[in-house]
Amino acid sequence: MPDEPWWKSAVIYQIYPRSFADSTGDGVGDLEGIRRHLDHLEWLGVDAIWLSPFFRSPMADFGYDVSDYCDVDPLFGDLDAFDRLLADIHGRGMRLIIDWVPNHSSSEHPWFIAARSSREDPKRDWYFWRDPHPDGTPPNNWKQAFRDAPAWTLDPTTDQLYLHLFLPEQPDLNWGNPDVEAAMHETLRFWLDRGVDGFRMDVIHAIGKDPALPDDPPEVAALPHSSLNDTPFTHQLLRRIRALLDSYTGDRMSVGEVFLLDTAKVGTYLRDQLHLAFNFPPLFTKWRSYRWAKQLDDAAAYIEPNGWPTWVLSNHDVVRHRTRYGSEDRARAAAVLLLGLRGTPFLYMGEELGLENADVPPDRVVDPGGRDGCRAPLPWDRSRGHGWGEPWLPFPPDAAARSVEALRDEPESILHLYRELLAQRKASPALQLGDQERIEVADGALAWERARGDDRRVVAVNFTDEAVAVPNLQGTVVVSSDRLGEGETFTGTLGPDQAVWLRV
């Protein structure tokens, strides 16, 4: 689409590198594994890849604890492997965005090792250090994520506590120190100069702390503090990050993880700040028409005035939506919904296979946040190892039947449905960039029209397992979640769990 930045019409596919493809047989995915499987993504029709962290890391939080922002962890390859991957992605006309983790480093980052070595160290102020209260309690009531415990850990060498909104192995960087800001800008430049098309920015809403580090209000004091942060300082920092990205040619972009479960607040991170922001209320919304109606209306009310929406059903932090919604039929309808919405859709690797969360027995649990089930490796083929060495996590259920190889052989599979949706979306200006207007239909269903110029599509989704009459919807079926009746005139009734795109 000329005149519009690529990321507005793109479908972006998230790869969790540990679990995508293993080229070495060590049971952990790697960059070369990704490169060797780009055919799958090209065949599927995705426009861009978001790669979760592959940087040097002690892996306390599986890569979201970075000990060198400008290098590849040997587990995943090296910078040459990264350059080869990026060149191959670009050679196929796709884009690459990478994860940037600016709120905290690893406790093994040289910056933190220096900071904790002495109270006088020049890097001391790159992190947050405080004395406990006289009664020994922590400096404030903030809670860390994943555990019911304070966001503070005592460092015995210098006898002060440091702040960490996540694990103790993830100390928070002090963006109030201009040297931190400059150093982190350098890490962006490092990857921009290498040619990446943008960044997914981890817990970006938390980077600008109020230097007073005030207590959380009592009603939320039991929640992880990262989900509450929203300071004017963060917005200032984001404007400077935006200026940096925009100083490069080629539409470099940012998509921020603004983990505030309030769409109105998410909207305030756009305009001259982030290019895109994840809006997570839909991710936590039940499969009910009236709840989704509210999500569409909220995006229109709060995101649209400031920027362009995004839509996500699954990622590496939450139970897969195939499991949450409870059936393959709903997962298929959800794909028709997701790819029919106005905004940039993000797919999480494996949703195109209809993968469920893996069952992870207690002795194989590795993640401190209990998220292993959605991070299970992608099954590539029907063979016993599904294309992997002994994998770091168990496979999702029915891995042979759900493998890429098996589903490609089945023309009616969810994999082919995704491919068809992506192709139809790419062929339709209305679906890619068109306006969106809701159409009132019977309870249990949701419908909207997308329009751009002469191109018009109607999207209709039945959220129930009974047929719903929608007599006011007319058109020719372009795609149906059950793949029946393509090219036919729509009958005015949505079957159980059926979702359709109609050409009007």
What residues are annotated to the active site?
202, 257
Residue closer to ligand NOJ (CB basis): 47 or 202: 202
Residue closer to ligand NOJ (CB basis): 317 or 381: 317
Q: What are 494's strand-pairing partners?
A: 468
Residue closer to ligand NOJ (CB basis): 31 or 101: 101
- CA distances for 206 relative to 64, 102, 192, 237, angstroms: 15, 9, 23, 11
207 binds ligand NOJ (CB under 6 A): no
DSSP readout, 87-149? HHHHHTT-EEEEEE--SB--TTSHHHHHHHH-TT-TTGGGB-EEPPPTTS--SS--B-SSSSS
Binding residue for ligand NOJ (CB under 6 A) from 41, 161, 203, 445?
203
Site for ligand NOJ in 367-396 (CB under 6 A): 369
Residue closer to ligand NOJ (CB basis): 279 or 462: 279
Tell me, what DSSP letter sits at residue 8?
A: H
Q: How many chain residues bind ligand NOJ (CB under 6 A)? A: 10
Least CB distance to ligand NOJ at residue 61 (A): 5
Burial of 86 (0-12, 13-18, 19+ CB in 10 A): buried
Phi-psi region of 283 (alpha: psi -120 to 50; beta: other; left: phi over 0): alpha
DSSP readout, 347-375? EETTGGGTPPPP---GGG---TTS-GGGG
C-alpha 203/C-alpha 104 separation (Å) is 9
What is the phi/psi pair of residue 236, to 5°? -65, -45
Neighbours of 412 (CB within 10 A): 11
Site for ligand NOJ in 153-192 (CB under 6 A): 166
Residue closer to ligand NOJ (CB basis): 367 or 405: 367
Tokens of 203: 């817990």
Least CB distance to ligand NOJ at residue 430 (A): 32
Least CB distance to ligand NOJ at residue 98 (A): 13
Site for ligand NOJ in 433-472 (CB under 6 A): none
Spell out the residues 6+ positions from residue 39 whose beta carbon is closer than 8 angstroms to its own: none
Least CB distance to ligand NOJ at residue 489 (A): 44
Per-residue contact track with ligand NOJ, 89 to 128, x per CB under 6 A?
Answer: ------------x---------------------------
Residue closer to ligand NOJ (CB basis): 348 or 501: 348
Least CB distance to ligand NOJ at residue 378 (A): 18
Per-residue contact track with ligand NOJ, 49 to 88, x per CB under 6 A?
Answer: ------------x--x------------------------
Q: Which amino acid is at 221?
A: A
Helix axes 414-426, 328-338, angle to 10 degrees: 10
Residue closer to ligand NOJ (CB basis): 369 or 394: 369
Residue nearest to ligand NOJ (CB): 64
Least CB distance to ligand NOJ at residue 145 (A): 7
Spell out the residues 6+ positions from residue 383 whose beta carbon is closer than 8 angstroms to its own: none
Residue closer to ligand NOJ (CB basis): 256 or 307: 256
Which helix (H) or strand (E) segment holds residue 265: the answer is helix 263-267
Per-residue contact track with ligand NOJ, 269 to 308, x per CB under 6 A?
Answer: ----------------------------------------
C-alpha 397/C-alpha 395 separation (Å) is 7
Binding residue for ligand NOJ (CB under 6 A) from 47, 181, 197, 202?
202
Residue closer to ligand NOJ (CB basis): 64 or 395: 64
The CA-based angle 261-129-131, given to 5 degrees, is: 110
Within 118-254, residue ranges assigned H as helices are: 178-194, 232-246
Least CB distance to ligand NOJ at residue 104 (A): 7
Least CB distance to ligand NOJ at residue 99 (A): 8
341 within 8 A of 436, measured Cβ to Cβ: yes
Buried b (16+ CB within 10 A) or exposed e, 264-277: eebbbbbeebbbbb
Least CB distance to ligand NOJ at residue 369 (A): 6
Per-residue contact track with ligand NOJ, 235 to 274, x per CB under 6 A?
Answer: ----------------------x-----------------
C-alpha 146/C-alpha 370 separation (Å) is 8
Residue closer to ligand NOJ (CB basis): 103 or 424: 103
Least CB distance to ligand NOJ at residue 504 (A): 39
Neighbours of 5 (CB within 10 A): 15
| Contacting residues toward ligand NOJ, per CB under 6 A | 61, 64, 101, 166, 202-203, 257, 316-317, 369
